[in-house]
Structure 1
């Protein structure tokens, strides 16, 4: 069974003269690596926003969106948040806290995990990636390349 499936997905923005997406049929299996490419304004971002209900743009939609065989609209927000990842085009615009440790904890806090579990998971993650020395640094001190962190 596919993790994601779109069946005849058609979408139009309000008052648009043509469809942004038209009869998209797509099936994504566990472990598949998919590349989505195309010209500017061809609907790539619009399609990606249809992978999560909280990101779905306002407009007219037809067809089915399935997650693990279930209509996406029936998948609760917590499940979507914990099992469907999404990184926007500019990751720098997604920073929500001031310190590295809090940025690492933010997602777990949003999912309602208790403090002990959050601390344990953040410590495990930091240890795994070897970044425990960065915990107290401001996220603005992190480098996209040339600096030591």
Structure 2
């Protein structure tokens, strides 16, 4: 059943990623506020549902924020880990939908192994904002 769930989610994710995104019309500050709120909500809700998994994800996110550099690295890897874990290890469809909405909002794509593909500097900034806000959501509990 887990493999089927994962397959369904991957197909759903691919459909959403290839769909036209109307979020592009949003301004930078609008996107940033939505990303911060959603990241904290995903972290908080996930921590209530699956504390062990989300504490680990919170540690990954926190360390990523402490190691920020000008190049892609910590935050894109942390985002990939968070996305892959929510996609494959949680059974909450709302969490899966929320993280998918963030992916669409930022306009990012993944390879089949959940690695981020070709981030622009602006996308990396938004991914970093998500990861650091996610860490705040875990710490708030």
Question: Shorter-normalised TM-score: what interval?
Answer: under 0.3
Structure whose CA Rg is larger: 1
TM-score (norm 2): 0.24
Q: Which has the higher helix share?
A: 2
TM-score normalised to structure 1 length: 0.23
Q: Which of the pair is proportionally richer in strand?
A: 1
